[in-house]
Amino acid sequence: VSSPPRTSRRDVAQAVNTRHPITKPGVRVARGACRPNIAGMSAAAAVAPPVDLDAVALLLDLDGTLVDIAATPDAVLAPPGLGVTLALLARRLDDALAVVSGRRLEDVDRILAPLRLTAAGEHGAVIRLSGDAEPQCAALPPMPSAWRRVAAEWAALHPGVLLEEKRASFVLHYRQAPVVGPMLHAALTTLLAGDHAHEILAASCAWEVRPRGIDKGMAVHSLMRGAAFRGRRPVFIGDDRTDEDGIAAAEALGGFGLRVADSFGDAAGVRAWLAGLVA
């Protein structure tokens, strides 16, 4: 693969205006349910391996990997310079770069605006194979509307609990009310009793109810079939339990995964490493 012409950071900056355990069947429990990262090295000790940009594709989680965890999902912002770095990397990789997030695709675009990248939203339920392509939505089992109504009632009853609605799922965030986390899990387990089409996924200070079979591993396999990604080795970078499926898929396809805490320390370390790739 030939290298494209190098583009300066100033050139791209002119085009991109950046802004600042109750384990039951069907329940996937994260290590450290209210920790932003999987435990690992300190930032000073973390070392990421070199990568050959002519041979790899980068698949990047968003929250806790590209951007810092915030008190609420809506409070997350892209740090200055991140959009420029990602735009430069996408050009250098001939567009073999994608964001793979549990968020809705609209939220990924809002955080990274005005940049629009190849992306997978809602753990792969929605895939966009290029920045200007129409999103493709997976065929999924319908979620009972009563579940969403009950989740909204729980969020209203417990200060600090936030309901995040998605096309195919919903999330109850309890970062600001950690004491109610076990209660929410028990209530969700009761709510889903007898249903075999959905599962409860533990994330960082959150419980997500989503269709079975939708995960970041599926997203990686779908993205790697895209024209820009074929023939490259996938490198998946993520910070929590929901990213382990993406790492496993990257390894199965001949690539590898990097866990933020082990290889970079934190999201700032990821951003510094990515910027160094196109410095």
Q: How confident is the model at residue 200 (pLDDT cuts 50, 70, 90)?
A: very high
What was the pLDDT predicted at 18? 31
In tens, the pLDDT along 176-196 reads: 999 999 999 999 999 999 999
What was the pLDDT predicted at 34? 62
Three-state SS for the chain is: CCCCCCCCHHHHHHHCCCCCCCCCCCEECCCCCCCCCCCCCCCCCCCCCCCCCCCEEEEECCECCCECCCCCHHHCCCCCCHHHHHHHHHHHCCCCEEEECCCCHHHHHHHHCCCCCEEEEHHHCEEECCCCCCCEECCCCCCCHHHHHHHHHHHHHCCCCEEEECCCCEEEECCCCHHHHHHHHHHHHHHCCCCCCEEEEEECCEEEEEECCCCHHHHHHHHCCCCCCCCCEEEEEECCHHHHHHHHHHHHCCCEEEEHHHHCCCHHHHHHHHHHHCC
Residues that are catalytic:
61
In tens, the pLDDT along 258-271 reads: 999 999 999 999 99
In tens, the pLDDT along 92-139 reads: 999 999 999 999 999 999 999 999 999 999 999 999 999 999 999 988
Q: What is the pTM assigned to this prediction?
A: 0.80
